[in-house]
């Protein structure tokens, strides 16, 4: 891999794909430790396909745009820093891709290359595959955090899980206002409520589904401590629910996961979201339905990989 002294673009040689029937890429930087190729290879092997996803650790958009026009390409995964930059270069975008404002997956629709966002499906299926809908039906949802992952979580809670109200909890009011403004502009933000302090949380109905989208760091600043207090108020309300802890690295079991368990909540670890967003990509690439994909084998392989990380 080389870096251009003129434009600081990080380039890498195109992977060899001649022996494959079809291929795709994971395009981003840095991506050396991604489990995406392993996960998708498990699916392709399980389906008897001579396919593979190749790592493309690069910031060279021009190179990638040339590579994806290969007719043998089944699609690709997109990660940082390209989730926004790739969108104008695609033939079409799905409604969820437009609504979230980020693309993490490219698939083929005839001759077109279409961008979508499967992170929303990862959130949705983490709940649908692990929790009875009675747990969260008719109750507010809640998102901890204020970045791009928060938008995906809000979309899943509103559009798929039908939460008419979604609480937003975060240390930074400006980030929350940005999320609310974006979601309103896209048509799914009218029920968003910024819960800024513990006293406000005490007066609100408890949520049934929570998605935590923040790193596993102990709160240090006063704003961080107040956000944690808000979270604890909701966790300690009498009626419990399920929480998806999106953070799984460098540890799978986070402080918020432990707080939730101690408060009586069902905890869904973040690898569930990773697996189901990946399986949604496989569904789009292969044309198979989720029930026909080797989900249990993928979970076994990912769990085995995490066990090697000494976390």
Interval 148-174: pLDDT, tens = 899 999 999 999 999 999 999 999 999
Interval 12-22: pLDDT, tens = 898 999 999 99
Q: Is the pLDDT of residue 209 over 80?
A: yes
Task: Tell me the pLDDT of the chain averaged across its residues.
Answer: 94
pLDDT band of 203, cuts 50, 70, 90: very high
Q: Is the pLDDT of residue 310 over 60?
A: no
Which pLDDT does position 251 carry in this prediction? Answer: 84
Interval 20-61: pLDDT, tens = 999 999 999 999 888 999 999 999 999 999 999 999 999 999
CA gap 237, 240 in Å, rounded: 7
135-145 mean pLDDT: 96
Report which of 74, 95, 73, 77 is spatially closest to residue 86, judged by C-alpha positions: 77
Which pLDDT does position 77 carry in this prediction? Answer: 98
Q: Does domain 121-269 have CATH number 3.40.50.720?
A: yes
Same fold, 2-117+272-307 and 121-269: yes
CA gap 224, 239 in Å, rounded: 25
Query: For 212, what's the count of Cα atoms within 13 Å in the CB-facing half-sphere?
Result: 31
CA gap 38, 91 in Å, rounded: 28
CA gap 209, 245 in Å, rounded: 11
Which pLDDT does position 5 carry in this prediction? Answer: 39
Which pLDDT does position 17 carry in this prediction? Answer: 92
Which pLDDT does position 311 carry in this prediction? Answer: 46
68-84 mean pLDDT: 96
Q: How many residues are given for the chain?
A: 311
The residue ranges of every structural domain in the chain are 2-117+272-307, 121-269
Q: Is the pLDDT of residue 4 over 70?
A: no
| Phi, psi of 17, deg, nearest 5 | -130, 10
Which pLDDT does position 1 carry in this prediction? Answer: 46
pLDDT band of 3, cuts 50, 70, 90: very low
Domain 2-117+272-307 adopts which CATH fold? Rossmann fold (3.40.50)
216-229 mean pLDDT: 96
pLDDT band of 308, cuts 50, 70, 90: confident
Q: Is the pLDDT of residue 74 over 80?
A: yes
CA gap 148, 219 in Å, rounded: 21
Cis link prior to 81 (omega < 30° from 0)? yes
Which pLDDT does position 7 carry in this prediction? Answer: 59
Which pLDDT does position 33 carry in this prediction? Answer: 84
Which pLDDT does position 250 carry in this prediction? Answer: 80
Instruction: Give catalytic residue positions.
Output: 83
249-256 mean pLDDT: 88
């Amino acid at each position: 891999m080389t870096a251009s002294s003129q434009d600081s673009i990080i380039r890498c040689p195109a992977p060899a794909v001649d022996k494959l029937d079809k291929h795709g890429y994971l395009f981003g930087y840095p991506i050396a430790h991604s489990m995406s190729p392993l996960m998708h290879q498990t699916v392709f092997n399980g389906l008897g396909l001579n396919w593979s996803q190749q790592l493309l650790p690069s910031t060279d958009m021009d190179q990638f745009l040339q590579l994806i026009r290969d007719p043998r390409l089944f699609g690709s995964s997109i990660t940082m820093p390209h989730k926004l930059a790739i969108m104008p270069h695609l033939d079409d975008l799905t409604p969820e891709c437009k609504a979230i404002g980020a693309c993490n997956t490219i698939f083929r629709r005839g001759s077109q290359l279409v961008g979508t966002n499967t992170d929303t499906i990862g959130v949705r299926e983490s709940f649908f595959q692990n929790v009875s809908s009675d747990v969260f039906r008719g109750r507010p949802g809640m998102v901890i955090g204020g970045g791009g992952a928060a938008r995906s979580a809000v979309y899943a809670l509103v559009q798929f899980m039908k939460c008419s109200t979604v609480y937003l909890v975060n240390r930074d009011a400006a980030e929350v206002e940005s999320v609310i403004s974006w979601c309103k502009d896209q048509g799914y933000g009218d029920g968003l409520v910024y819960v800024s302090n513990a006293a406000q949380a005490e007066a609100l109905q408890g949520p049934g589904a929570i998605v935590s989208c923040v790193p596993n760091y102990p709160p240090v600043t006063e704003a961080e401590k107040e956000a944690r207090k808000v979270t604890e108020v909701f966790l300690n309300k009498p009626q419990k629910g399920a929480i998806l802890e999106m953070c799984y690295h460098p540890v799978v079991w986070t402080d918020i996961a432990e707080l939730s368990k101690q408060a009586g909540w069902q905890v869904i670890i973040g690898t569930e979201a990773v697996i189901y967003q990946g399986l949604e990509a496989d569904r789009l690439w292969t044309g198979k339905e989720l029930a026909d994909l080797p989900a249990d084998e993928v979970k076994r392989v990912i769990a085995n990989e995490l066990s090697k990380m000494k976390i």
